[in-house]
Amino acid sequence: MFPRTLAAAAALFAIALPLPSPAQQYQIIGYVAPRIAALAQPSTPPAGAGTVVIQVRVESDGSHQVIKIIKSTNHTVDGAARDAAQRSKYTPAMNAGKPVPAFIDVAFRVTASGVEVIQDTKGVDEQVTALLRNGRYAAAKAQAAAALSQTPSDAKLRQLLGVSEYYLNDYQAAVEAFSHVSTIAGDYRTIASESFANVANKLISTDTQQAVALALKATEYNADNADALYTLGAAQLAAKSYTDAVATLQKTRTLVSGGKSSEKVRANIDTELMVAQIGAGDMTGAQTTLAEIKKLDPSSTTAQRAMGRKLLEIGNAAGANGDVAAALSAYNQAAALSVTDIAIVADLNAGNTLAKGLKPDFAQIKAYADKALAINASDANANYLEGYAITGQWAAKPNDELKNQAMSYLNKAKSLAQGAGNADLASQIDTFVKNSFGAAKATPQPAAHSSPSGGSYSGGSGYGGGGG
């Protein structure tokens, strides 16, 4: 049987960490108890009825000896049960593939018609184990469940049920089975860890607190399970427990760095770590991690995008709180990452932030608009911001050249907005032009000092044509 790896990644970046490959076989290490190979009837027909549990010692060669009667509901049939136990044939116990002497407790039902075995009380778990070894997971589940209906407190059977559910890909059911056991045996801890990690991973986007709790349990069962650690770190990151996420993801990175994990996998872990470091306010650490990511996977921009998105969030929050300097700093750092779609959003948001001031610096706003247009000259918002900035310059020093430049960009912005089906932006531009260049205006000036788009851009694809 083989341990599985998580099929999906933690929610933020869809990264999957490989665990041991199927070539690394996982065996359920278990002692195989002795059992009755052929039940014999007593030499004298029983003179009554009852249930008798008898302990038998079975030697490594299959020979045996009745030791004692453990329990009886009718002592008048004890002799018949003992005789049947002695006359029967047994298969010896196996340990590490070799026969060994061992005891077996056998329950006999005695009636006037003869003797039958009710239950080989130490054999069901071994039967389930044998089914698992042969890949008969559904049969193993059925047998374990049937036995547990009679003995619900049997911890080993409960764990074997969890193993069966795991190999049937029902990780939730596996978690439920393992959760009923106070102490998971060493043989099953890896599978329990994988089960909890799988369920935790699925909950990251919907129930972060439960995801964290289950992932913690997964790491408790196997502290060296990189998959479980990675899932825990991703859950902590989703829950915005940034400091905890940093510590967990650093452990994950250390764990995989000494193994055979690819540089790309290590870069993926570092990407999550970098985002956690940014969230924890450790920009120095985040920049250091980003540099390491670039060395590990120079062709990927995943990390730069992740940092860019986070810097945009920081800039937007700072701008909303009126901290222009902090907002511009975050936007400038995002733009400097040289990821075009992140950079254009950063430049537009920087221009937006300045436009909201009481005394906008139109030259600086135009500089940001110029950068955005250099990335995408057909971006409606970039053209609108450029037109807005030039209108502000025209208001300070009216002349036809500036007015014509402003109208050229504003008309282009409106056309692009209409072409993209963004009627709101097109209408906003119309209003801006009317308010800024209308004949009734006594003093030339741009429309009210607000962001041309009316808000901040969040990023993603297709920023052109976006608007308030």
Same topology for domains 129-296 and 334-437, yes or no?
Answer: yes
9 pLDDT tier (thresholds 50, 70, 90): very low
Tell me how crowded residue 112 is: count the other CB atoms within 10 A of its CB: 10
Helix ranges (H only) for 56-170 are 78-87, 124-133, 137-150, 155-167
Query: Which secondary-structure segment (H or E) carries 89?
Result: strand 89-91
Dihedral sign (CA 6, 12, 14, 19): negative
Residues 276 and 249: beta-carbon distance below 8 Å: yes
CA–chain centroid gap for 221, Å, is 17
Q: What is the pLDDT of residue 450?
A: 38
Dist. CA 253–CA 247, nearest whole Å: 10
Gyration radius (Cα) of the chain, Å: 36
CATH code, residues 334-437: 1.25.40.10
Q: Tokens 């733009």 label which residue?
A: 335
Q: Report the percent of the chain where pLDDT is more than 70.
A: 85
| Res. 442: pLDDT tops 50 | no
2 pLDDT higher than 80: no
Q: How confident is the model at residue 170 (pLDDT cuts 50, 70, 90)?
A: very high
Q: What tens digit of pLDDT does each residue of 197-237 get? A: 999 999 999 999 999 999 999 999 999 999 999 999 999 99
The residue whose two tokens read 């899932």 is 231
Q: What is the pLDDT of residues 232-288, one digit of tens each?
A: 999 999 999 999 999 999 999 998 887 677 888 888 899 999 999 988 989 899 989
Q: Provide the pLDDT for residue 150.
A: 67
This model's pTM is above 0.85? no
Over 60: is that where the pLDDT of 453 sits? no
Q: In what order do the strands lie in the sheet with 64-72?
A: 64-72, 50-58, 102-111, 114-120
Domain ranges (residues) in the chain: 35-121, 129-296, 334-437
Architecture per CATH, domain 129-296, reads as Alpha Horseshoe (1.25)
| Whether residue 438 has pLDDT greater than 90 | no
> Residue 63 carries which side chain, given as an amino acid letter?
S
Among 58, 176, 54, which residue's Cα sits nearest to residue 108? 54
Q: Find out whether 119 and 129 touch, Cβ atoms under 8 Å.
A: no
Beta-carbon contacts of residue 322 (< 8 Å; ≥ 6 apart): none
Instruction: Indicate if the pLDDT at residue 461 is higher than 50.
Output: no
Summarised one tens digit per residue, pLDDT across range 102-137 is 888 888 999 999 998 875 545 688 888 888 988 999
Burial of 439 (0-12, 13-18, 19+ CB in 10 A): exposed
3-class SS of residue 56: strand
CA distances from 331 to 326, 346, 348 (A): 9, 5, 9
DSSP class of 5: P
Q: pLDDT (tens digit, 9 = 90+) per residue, 341-385?
A: 999 999 999 999 999 888 899 999 999 999 999 999 999 999 999
Q: Average of pLDDT values for 26-54?
A: 80
Q: Closest by alpha carbon to 56, among 37, 73, 75, 74? A: 37
